Amino acid sequence: MESSLMSVQTAAIFLTLFSQCVNGKDCVCELNNLQGPFPTDKLNTVYNDASQCSKSIISTELTELDSLMLGLQRRLEQLEESLSVLEKEDDGDLYGAVSLRIIELELAEILELMEKLNNTMTFNMELSELTTNKLKSMSKNMKELETYDISQVVSKERENLRMKRALAECQKELEATPPPPTRRPGHCPQGQFINMEGPRTYTLNPYGTSYPYGAWGKDPKPALGKEDMYWLVVLTSSNVYANYITHYSSWSTLMVNVGPTYSYISSSNPTTNTIQGPNVVMYGDALYYNCYYTASVCRFNVTDKSVTNTPLPKTASFNNKAPFGHLDAAYTYTDLDLATDESGVWVIYTTTENFGNVVLSEVTQGVPPSLGRTWQTSLHKRAATNTFMICGVLYATRFVDKDKEEIFYSFDTVTKEERYDLKIQIKKTQTNIQYLNYNPRDRLLYAFSDAYMVTYDTVYQ
């Protein structure tokens, strides 16, 4: 009651109204707005400021802090491990000295991470101060603007927008077909794969940033005594070819590039039977890969250094004819993607017969290896950035933006069901992912991303 009385009084102050009747027939009405026109510019500025504020705070800063914290946490765990190893080994000989050196290097990396964290936090503090000031000025501006809102234009407009949105949503619900079954695909004994968490670890590959293409991981079916080993293949020639595998005895030695050993497929590169393309895997102490200039899967036996192979169908694409990619990049020579899961080794490729769509084959472990069951899918290979297998289900990723990759597709080899509606996000530390593979032994997803080696945890329901 009181407030409506006020607004009538306010209106009387700001508006003057003249009305008179001319010759008893036409009425003339003159309206003078003493307050001047409504400052739309000011309002737009406030709106823009508000949306900018929330964007800059939410999207970039929090994810960066998140991954730094995760990295730091992992490094501290490693340090603790290495320290306990040192304690056991400290008999004053050379072995202890090597461990000490590793610990020194780990400490240096931790300090570097902490400095980065400190910088990010300082930056965030400055940002939040900046934001507070912006908010103060915005609220001052809004108060000023409200004095113009005598006839409640803004609030009515807002109300209208709300109603329009509600109406649209109502319409959508009416038109929507029944939702797809919520059951996720999968037959894992540990439950259904539902999410990807991490990065759990990330580190630059020992060869440095000039080598964006590579592959790494742990053998899911390691030879006796090689359970802790890591393997690494970096495409050191033209980002396409490699002729050897680098082995590390443990996580710590991989991190600091200490004591690597090498398994050479050939002394020259590239040549017959050497590696072409990044998507290779180790399984049962052998490397499975696309061999140089042929449409076949080669297997390099690390023990006796022999190479055997199994050809793909005649219509299979190779030599960079059907690589993975997205709008801004093609991942060169990714025609063949090898993958491991609980049941063994798989190869993902395309054939002209299947119109460039993905074909999936089992690689059986005989001597020589051969192709087992094969499935044709409707997934266009160039629409995916990579693929991997978990518990007999093929998953494909696509590029969303520089911070996010999305697992959007699945093909279940048991039910043959294809899904395009998976929305499982992978947080990236670098823009592009050139290699992805799942290790059924530690249930981690291994990625090679613009020269960085990254792992993610798989989460099950």
Binding interface with ligand NAG (CB under 6 A): 115, 118, 122, 284, 286, 301, 303-304, 367
Toward ligand NAG, which CB reaches closer, 33 or 122?
122
Give one DSSP letter per residue of 200-255, joined into a string: EEEEE-TT-TT---EEEE--SSPPTT-TT-EEEEE-TBTTTEE-EEEEESSHHHHH
Q: Which residue sits closest to ligand NAG, CB atoms considered?
A: 301
Taking the CB of residue 31, how many other CB atoms lie within 10 A of it?
A: 9
Toward ligand NAG, which CB reaches closer, 120 or 141?
120
Toward ligand NAG, which CB reaches closer, 284 or 372?
284
Question: How far apart are CB 448 and ligand NAG at their closest, in Å?
Answer: 24
The H-or-E segment that residue 105 falls in is helix 94-146
3-state DSSP call for residue 455? strand
**Beta carbons within 8 Å of 202's beta carbon, 6+ residues apart:** 67, 71, 429, 452, 453, 454, 455
Toward ligand NAG, which CB reaches closer, 123 or 355?
123
Question: How far apart are CB 180 and ligand NAG at their closest, in Å?
Answer: 41
Q: Which residue has the tokens 């914290």?
A: 69
Establish how many alpha carbons lie within 13 A of residue 188's alpha carbon, considering only the half-sphere containing its beta carbon. Answer: 22
3-state DSSP call for residue 135? helix
Give one DSSP letter per residue of 406-437, joined into a string: EEEEEEETTT--EES---EEEE-SSS---EEE
Toward ligand NAG, which CB reaches closer, 16 or 118?
118
| b/e per residue 163-185 (b: at least 16 CB within 10 A) | eeeeeeeeeeeeeeeeeeeeebb
Taking the CB of residue 115, how many other CB atoms lie within 10 A of it?
A: 10
Toward ligand NAG, which CB reaches closer, 301 or 370?
301
Question: How far apart are CB 310 and ligand NAG at their closest, in Å?
Answer: 12
Report how far residue 95's alpha carbon sits from residue 80's, in angstroms, rounded to the nearest whole number.
18
Toward ligand NAG, which CB reaches closer, 285 or 450?
285
Query: Residue 201 forms beta bridges with which residues?
Result: 455
Toward ligand NAG, which CB reaches closer, 23 or 303?
303
**Beta carbons within 8 Å of 96's beta carbon, 6+ residues apart:** 86, 89, 90
Terminus-to-terminus CA distance in the chain, angstroms?
57
Question: How far apart are CB 76 and ligand NAG at their closest, in Å?
Answer: 15
Question: How far apart are CB 290 and ligand NAG at their closest, in Å?
Answer: 18
Question: How far apart are CB 122 and ligand NAG at their closest, in Å?
Answer: 5
Taking the CB of residue 256, how many other CB atoms lie within 10 A of it?
A: 19
3-state DSSP call for residue 305? coil
Question: How far apart are CB 115 and ligand NAG at their closest, in Å?
Answer: 6
Question: How far apart are CB 280 and ligand NAG at their closest, in Å?
Answer: 15
The answer to whether the beta carbons of residues 209 and 431 sit under 8 Å apart is: no
Question: How far apart are CB 107 and ligand NAG at their closest, in Å?
Answer: 14
Toward ligand NAG, which CB reaches closer, 127 or 258?
127
The answer to whether the beta carbons of residues 410 and 394 sit under 8 Å apart is: yes
Question: How far apart are CB 65 and ligand NAG at their closest, in Å?
Answer: 15
Question: How far apart are CB 436 and ligand NAG at their closest, in Å?
Answer: 23
Toward ligand NAG, which CB reaches closer, 114 or 161?
114
Toward ligand NAG, which CB reaches closer, 190 or 343?
343
